[in-house]
Amino acid sequence: MNDTPNALEALKLISDWAKWLITIESAPIAIIGGAIKREKAETPYFVKVFATTAVVSFVISIAAAALLLLTLPEVAQNLRPEVNIWLTQDSVRGRVLGMNTQSLAIGESVFFGLGIICFAALIVAATWS
């Protein structure tokens, strides 16, 4: 059984996590964009693949984080002591996407991880090409 003040604190932690991911993901996107703009030589194919996959992954993660942040106020407003916050759904996200808070947060984190891996691979590939 959840304690409502603890559930509200958990929602704040989820919100902070989403905000930090958005902040962190903006930097690699800016770095990739800046490198593409300055690149004069022919870029190897696999470097382009890593760059594209990293940017797409980060954008999906940012969109998931934004959706999560958008829905947290309704989740907080409808908190009940017997409800696990990870299993909550707001009215729009739950009906349209069929996703709860946990699945959205996991998706956000998975795409963040994929973006980080591709960004690191991009750096290694660009260094060795």
Which single residue is written with the structure tokens 């003040």? 5
Tens digits of residue pLDDT in 1-16: 456 778 888 889 999 9
pTM: 0.87
**Sign of the CA dihedral running 105, 112, 64, 96:** negative
Q: Say yes or no to pLDDT of 97 above 90.
A: no
How many C-beta neighbours within 10 Å does residue 124 have? 12
Percent of the residues in the chain that have a pLDDT greater than 90, as a whole number? 49
Tell me the CA distances in angstroms from 119 to 49, 64, 106, one per residue in order: 10, 19, 20
Residue type, 62: I
- More confident site: 88 or 51: 51
pLDDT 10s digits, 26-45: 999 999 988 887 766 788 89
Query: Tokens 């996107």 — which residue?
Result: 29
Q: Could you state, in order of their start, the residue ranges of all structural domains in the chain?
A: 4-20+45-128
